[in-house]
């Protein structure tokens, strides 16, 4: 009804503007009557612009409402047919269910902790990576990897050609800036994941909507 009225107002204003422009041409530019008509035309054009914007907004809202209703109906049909077999749902069905439930998944940024020891106290000037790792509480493989990337200088020494050595001062300079990354990404991500949901529907077949839907089952697929 409102949409029909809006169209009628646009048609009426367009007709009035056209008539006013015809009347405007009958009067000298700058005359009192000319200025009154010109002001009236300007006002009507502003109204026409407003109605046009409201009409476009109404069409957008109407389209969004249609999509919303379609998604909710698809979700209710999903609950009725799946009956707990959510792991067998298609990606599209899961995606729609998550949208309707308003599911949001937040993953906190990775925090790379500093080594437990940031300064080594020892009389030895040169340390093997195994010794350095033991004193700093770091896996020697991590130190070896960081050294291979040029983060600190290592060398071979006569006392053991099999071992790689790092100077104590170089290690103490780099330890405070060293950040430890977890080895297992899957285990590292899980504690940082937070799942929330806020259903976008209200008052629609509450008996179906209140059905327990395992969010993890939907996300896992």
What gap in Å lies between CA 200 and CA 121, rounded to an integer? Answer: 60
Helix (H, G, I), strand (E, B), or coil: what is residue 15? helix
Please check whether residue 115 lies inside any domain of the structure.
no
* Full residue range of the structural domain in which residue 159 is found: 126-177
Q: Are 129 and 163 in contact (CB under 8 A)?
A: yes
Please check whether residue 75 lies inside any domain of the structure.
no
Please indicate, yes or no, whether residues 139 and 51 belong to a single structural domain of this protein: no
Please indicate, yes or no, whether residues 6 and 64 belong to a single structural domain of this protein: yes
Please indicate, yes or no, whether residues 63 and 87 belong to a single structural domain of this protein: no
Please check whether residue 116 lies inside any domain of the structure.
no
Please indicate, yes or no, whether residues 165 and 200 belong to a single structural domain of this protein: no
Please indicate, yes or no, whether residues 173 and 198 belong to a single structural domain of this protein: no
Q: What is the pLDDT of residue 209?
A: 44
Please check whether residue 189 lies inside any domain of the structure.
yes
Please check whether residue 154 lies inside any domain of the structure.
yes
Please identify every stretch of the chain with a pLDDT value under 50, giving residue numbers as ranges.
1, 184-186, 203-212, 215
Please check whether residue 22 lies inside any domain of the structure.
yes
Please indicate, yes or no, whether residues 65 and 7 belong to a single structural domain of this protein: yes
Please indicate, yes or no, whether residues 151 and 95 belong to a single structural domain of this protein: no
Please indicate, yes or no, whether residues 8 and 66 belong to a single structural domain of this protein: yes
Please indicate, yes or no, whether residues 196 and 172 belong to a single structural domain of this protein: no
Smallest CA-to-CA distance from 174 within 128, 123, 122, 136 is with 136
pTM as predicted: 0.34
Q: What is the pLDDT of residues 35-52, one digit of tens each?
A: 999 999 898 888 888 877
Residue the block writes with tokens 């646009």 = 10
Please check whether residue 8 lies inside any domain of the structure.
yes
What gap in Å lies between CA 87 and CA 89, rounded to an integer? Answer: 6
Please check whether residue 58 lies inside any domain of the structure.
yes
Please indicate, yes or no, whether residues 92 and 191 belong to a single structural domain of this protein: yes
Domain count, the chain: 3
Residue the block writes with tokens 């033991």 = 134
Q: Are 122 and 135 in contact (CB under 8 A)?
A: yes
Please indicate, yes or no, whether residues 167 and 192 belong to a single structural domain of this protein: no
Please indicate, yes or no, whether residues 84 and 63 belong to a single structural domain of this protein: no
**How many Cα neighbours within 13 Å face the side chain of 57?**
8
Q: Which two tokens stand for residue 79?
A: 């609950």
Q: What is the pLDDT of residue 39?
A: 92
CB neighbours of 24 closer than 8 A, spacing ≥ 6?
34, 37, 38, 41
What gap in Å lies between CA 187 and CA 208, rounded to an integer? Answer: 35
Q: Are 197 and 99 in contact (CB under 8 A)?
A: no
């Amino acid at each position: 009804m409102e949409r029909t009225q809006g169209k009628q107002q646009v048609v009426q204003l367009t007709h009035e503007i056209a008539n006013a422009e015809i009347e405007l041409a009958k009067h000298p530019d700058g005359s009192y009557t000319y200025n009154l008509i010109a002001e009236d035309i300007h006002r009507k054009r502003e109204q026409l612009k407003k109605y046009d914007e409201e009409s476009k907004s109404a069409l957008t809202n109407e389209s969004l409402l249609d999509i919303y209703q379609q998604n909710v109906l698809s979700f209710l049909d999903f609950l009725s047919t799946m009956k707990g077999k959510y792991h067998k749902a298609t990606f599209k069905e899961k995606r729609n269910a998550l949208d309707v439930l308003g599911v949001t998944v937040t993953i906190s940024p990775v925090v790379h902790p500093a080594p437990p020891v940031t300064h080594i106290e020892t009389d030895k000037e040169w340390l093997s990576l195994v010794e350095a790792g033991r004193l700093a509480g770091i896996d020697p493989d991590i130190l070896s990897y960081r050294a291979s990337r040029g983060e600190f200088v290592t060398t071979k020494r006569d006392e053991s050609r099999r071992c790689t050595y790092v100077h104590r001062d170089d290690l103490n300079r780099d330890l405070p800036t060293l950040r430890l990354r977890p080895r297992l990404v899957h285990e590292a991500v899980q504690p940082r994941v937070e799942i929330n949901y806020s259903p976008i529907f209200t008052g629609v077949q509450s008996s179906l909507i209140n059905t327990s839907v395992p969010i993890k089952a939907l996300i896992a697929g």
